[in-house]
Structure 1
Amino acid sequence: MKSTCAFWFFTRVGRNKKLMESNTKLMQMVRVAELYYEQRLSQVEISVMLGISRSTVSRLLADAHEQGVVEVTIHRPVEKVARLSEMIRKTLGLRDAIVVRGGETYEEVLNHVGLATAELLLSLLKDNMILGISWGVTLYHTVQSIQKTSFHGIEVIQLMGSLGQGNPATDGPELALRFAERLNGTYRIINAPALVRSKDVRDDLLQQPQIQTVIERASRAQVCLTGIGSFADEMSSLMRAGYLTNEDRTTLRSEGAVGHILSRP
């Protein structure tokens, strides 16, 4: 019995010792990773600071990768198709055109377009400019691709009314807020629906002082950002929001409409 108890005691002590050594190594691994990746110290500097060899620092960094303590994310620049971009620019008489490579999924395509649009937008904007925006998933991916900037006096203006249905994150008011936050600016929205069924209702809305003020400011925008909407069933924001019926879509397509900008065919 005594020998059995002694064996159990030493086994337990051995396991606890291994656990403590494992925790100590993990803590050391995290500390080395913090110094190397967050504080940008060299491996030599870390070895001197912690009193360990440079080879130990290197091994701990390698273990940190293998055990998931450190994860590496590569942000690849969007690949642009220069030849096709130039062809479209010349054919349509545009000042500039940018074509990016697609992706395996629709979401990946939107991410690529959003990154390229964000890059172009930031190159065009200057302090105290007015930026007019519409709404939609393309603009959502654009603003998601913009990091907080240090512009001054940027004013973001909604160019059209709101959908009021569907995903609020892709609607004009929310996008205006997000762009203003990322561009260190202010924003104005149009408190009205994008489309109404009656001309009288439209005319009455246009007479409202608050709406007139926003529209007047929008007319002064130096940069306007809008997507191009589709009439396809699975992609049309207007269809999903209930502004267009299948009959409306059929009528528009029979008259040659292939898409819409600012909800206008």
Structure 2
Amino acid sequence: MPEQSHEELLACIGREYYLENRSKVEIAAGHALSRFQVARLLNEAVESGIVEIKVRFPSHLSSADLGRLESSLGIGQVIVADTTGGEIQARGVLAKVAASEISRQAPDGGILGISWSRTLDVASRLVKELPRCDIVQLAGALPAEADSNPLELIQRLGHLSGGLTWPLWSPLVVEDPRTASGLRRQPEIAGALAKADSLDLAVVAIGAWKAGSSTVWERADPAVREEAVLAGAIAECSGRLLNSAGAPVESGLNERIIAVTIKQLQRTPQVIAIAQGEARAEAVRAVARAGFVTTLIIDEPLAKALNDMRDEEKNQ
């Protein structure tokens, strides 16, 4: 066989990384290279034009619209995924974007915390590589699909990062405040919750405090749900409720939650938040006002709803 040229090597590595979704470690092993050599070759492939990367914005959302959305929400980076098809398809697109951002922003030698949602579970399966970092579970478990649970999500990312994992061996919502208090004193749970004080990056999902828009809503009894609504709750993030001003809502539910707190998220330097569907527009604005989100990943219908709300307020 003729010897492979340097340009052919660049094309081969580019195909394996960008099209076949192989990690740099896998590519390095296949070509007798180091991971750092693979990274340099990928950069060279892009700079030389052998690999071309195109970013396509949704046709109805210009870069100016995106800038105005970021400004109105007070969030440094808003990523609008170009979603088409049904809810499950859109979730897959959002998950792919989230996986890319988790890989890009993961702190080398630091601490990454992540909550559970259906989209984040899919995203964790799409992450192919991480720098060495510790992984912290930010919210206890909720009953979900048989092939999806937060402990597996944490273990999956921990295997990729090679760092320590800090699982939360607890449900997200427990029966009463006394049980929750006892669980928080358990050494393993206390250790994981304490780790949330030192996060470098947190990844969370945003829900609206209403039926069908929050996985926690169904776990709270009707009296507790109503109490939270009357207290002004419109948004839910890792089981924590917020009002329209972005302030935490104190209710009976808050005392029964085993999860990261809003104050801990506000102390975290980088926070990626993901939300889907126009029904969560008010919730996203509430979470944005809490001031901890640095990267927001949303779908097109939600972006349109947020822009429409902004325009309506300007015209009042």
Structure-1-length-normalised TM-score: 0.61
Q: Deviations over 1:188-245 (max 9, x none)?
A: 21111212232222222222222221122221110000111234434432245xx124
Counterpart mapping for 1:160-199 below 5 A: 160-163=139-142, 165-199=143-177
CA distance in 1, matches of 2:93, 2:155: 22
CA distance in 2, matches of 1:140, 1:77: 25
- The residue that corresponds to 2:136 in the other structure is 157
| Residue 223 of structure 2 is aligned to residue 264 of structure 1 | no
| Alpha-carbon contact 2:166-2:191 (below 8 Å) kept | no
| Alpha-carbon contact 1:78-1:116 (below 8 Å) kept | no
CA distance in 2, matches of 1:132, 1:78: 30
- The structure that has the greater radius of gyration is 1
CA distance in 2, matches of 1:138, 1:88: 23
Unaligned residue ranges in structure 1 (runs of 5+): 1-36, 41-75
| Residue 208 of structure 2 is aligned to residue 230 of structure 1 | yes
CA distance in 1, matches of 2:65, 2:157: 30
Q: Which amino acid aligns with 1:252?
A: A
Q: CA deviation at 1:167?
A: 1.9
Q: Which amino acid aligns with 2:123?
A: T
Between Structure 1 and Structure 2, the one with more strand by share is 2
Q: CA deviation at 1:86?
A: 1.8
- The residue that corresponds to 2:118 in the other structure is 137
| Overall identity of the aligned pairs, in % | 20
RMSD of aligned C-alpha atoms? Answer: 2.9
| Alpha-carbon contact 1:140-1:169 (below 8 Å) kept | no
Q: CA deviation at 1:144?
A: 2.5
| Residue 95 of structure 2 is aligned to residue 114 of structure 1 | yes
Q: CA deviation at 1:131?
A: 0.7
Q: Which amino acid aligns with 1:155?
A: D
| Alpha-carbon contact 2:210-2:234 (below 8 Å) kept | no
CA distance in 1, matches of 2:183, 2:173: 11
Structure-2-length-normalised TM-score: 0.52
Q: CA deviation at 1:255?
A: 4.1
Q: Which amino acid aligns with 1:143?
A: S
Is the alpha carbon distance of 1:180 and 1:259 closer, same or farther for their aligned partners in structure 2, counting shifts above 3 Å? same
| Alpha-carbon contact 1:135-1:172 (below 8 Å) kept | yes
- The total of aligned residue pairs comes to 189
Unaligned residue ranges in structure 2 (runs of 5+): 1-11, 16-53, 242-316
Counterpart mapping for 1:1-265 below 5 A: 79=57, 81=61, 82-147=63-128, 149=129, 151=131, 153-163=132-142, 165-240=143-218, 243-265=219-241
Match of 2:121, SS?
helix
| Alpha-carbon contact 1:114-1:138 (below 8 Å) kept | yes
Q: Which amino acid aligns with 2:169?
A: N
| Alpha-carbon contact 1:226-1:261 (below 8 Å) kept | yes
CA distance in 1, matches of 2:212, 2:177: 29
Match of 2:113, SS?
strand
- Give the number of the structure with larger relative contact order, counting CA–CA contacts within 8 Å between residues 6 or more apart: 2
CA distance in 2, matches of 1:255, 1:228: 19
CA distance in 1, matches of 2:114, 2:141: 12
Is the alpha carbon distance of 1:253 and 1:157 closer, same or farther for their aligned partners in structure 2, counting shifts above 3 Å? same
